[in-house]
Amino acid sequence: MTTDRREDSALLLRQLTRWGQAHPSVVTMGAAIFCTLVGAVDYVSGDLISPNIFYVLPVVVTTASAGRRSGLLIIGVATLIGFLAAASGVNNPSPPIIAWNLLARVVFLVGSVWLVDALVHTLEQLEARATTDPLTGALNRRALYDLTTREMARCERAGAPMSVAYFDLDGLKAVNDTAGHDAGDALIVSFVDELRSHSRPTDLAARLGGDEFALVLPELGLADAEIVVRRLQVALAEHGVSASAGIAAIDTSLSDIEPAIQRADQLMFEAKQGGLGVRAER
Q: Each residue of 58-109: pLDDT tens digit?
A: 888 888 777 888 888 888 888 887 777 767 755 566 677 767 777 877 887 8
Contact 132, 124 (CB under 8 A): no
What single-letter DSSP state applies at residue 250? -
Contact 49, 91 (CB under 8 A): no
Determine the average pLDDT of the residues in 234-256. 88
The overall pTM is greater than 0.85: no
Contact 257, 248 (CB under 8 A): no
pLDDT band at 161 (very low <50, low <70, confident <90, very high): very high
pLDDT band at 180 (very low <50, low <70, confident <90, very high): confident
Sign of CA dihedral 199, 276, 137, 161: positive
Stated as kind and residue range, the H or E segment containing 40 is helix 24-45
